Structure 1
């Protein structure tokens, strides 16, 4: 496997972005679920949750730049509906990779807490406001549920390709894929 994508498979950088963001996203989601129940370590959990959320935002910027300068593997499916659905889900992922961290940043400001990125205090954009906090909190929670549903669709789609269509869609995103050109 090379560093760059080919028309047949993803390269190391794209695969790294995929799995790194998936891992960080899952960790951020789990920290967010436990945030309100974890009063004893609230500040530490909030700092880590915020830091990972901001990291997702930054990685999304790099990932989009990488996607623009790099080729994408050709779709393995010839079904236009599957290609359109996959494209829609990927675009929605990127939109949420930006909106979710921004809503979290605003939410942290609105509840009067400092946004902390791995120990570095970030500027306060908004002052404490309980009414706005409720609205932004609802949006942040809704986005969390949407991204969870999208993640489920993404995994179901990958498993559908792997077990039902028996193509190499899933193998192309592994770190140590052994796809031969004639297997595509």
Structure 2
């Protein structure tokens, strides 16, 4: 005789299987566009950031580059917030079958990428809040959250720099994982994010 809980469990697993079959295999176009805009923006940000720290102080071009870096960083930050909102509403397609450790690694990398995408602009903005120049967002002077204080500024910029290197490692892992799934596993994972 089948117990009531057995019927409920069978119904639940049938519902889960049906939802997985009906789940989209690709991200919605809005998330695809946001993903690639953010990805190219982040690559540009990291390249500019690494280049400008090697420039000598007082170079007029360096000040222009720093302001561009700040504006682009805050624009990417806003796009990331929009992407998080869209993702919460639309959800994400299920991952293809993979080992539990791979699923855990993919999930951890994804979370850490989002943490980095938020930590980078926040630490950069806080560092800029503790100098005399502040932050200009495409020419508009934003409110400062501090005063001119070199030790505090260096603290936030130190975290910003460490976060940048961690971010670079995470991006390399993310890209390596996508390439592995495309070329070795051939499971169509990359197709989910292609227009």
Structure 2 match to 1:94:
114
Structure 1 match to 2:44:
27
SS at match of 1:102: helix
Report the TM-score when normalising by structure 1. 0.87
Deviations 1:129-181 (A, max 9, x none): 11112221211100000000000000000011011101111122111xxxxxx
Matched, 1:117 2:137: yes
1:77 CA drift (Å)? 2.8
1:33 CA drift (Å)? 1.1
* Residues matched between the structures, number: 170
Gapped runs of 5+ residues in structure 2?
1-22
Residue pair 1:10, 1:172 contacting (<8 A) in 2 also: yes
Give the distance between the partners of 2:132 and 2:177, measured in 1 at CA.
41
What's the C-alpha RMSD, in Å, of the aligned pairs? Answer: 1.3
Structure 1 match to 2:152:
132
SS at match of 1:159: helix
Residue pair 2:127, 2:155 contacting (<8 A) in 1 also: no
Residue pair 2:52, 2:65 contacting (<8 A) in 1 also: yes
Gapped runs of 5+ residues in structure 1?
1-5, 176-184
1:40 CA drift (Å)? 3.0
SS at match of 2:91: coil
Matched, 1:106 2:130: no
Deviations 1:34-84 (A, max 9, x none): 223342312211111001111121111111110110031110133121111
Runs of 4+ more than 6 Å apart: none
Deviations 1:12-51 (A, max 9, x none): 1111111100011011111111223342312211111001
Give the distance between the partners of 1:154 and 1:36, measured in 2 at CA.
26
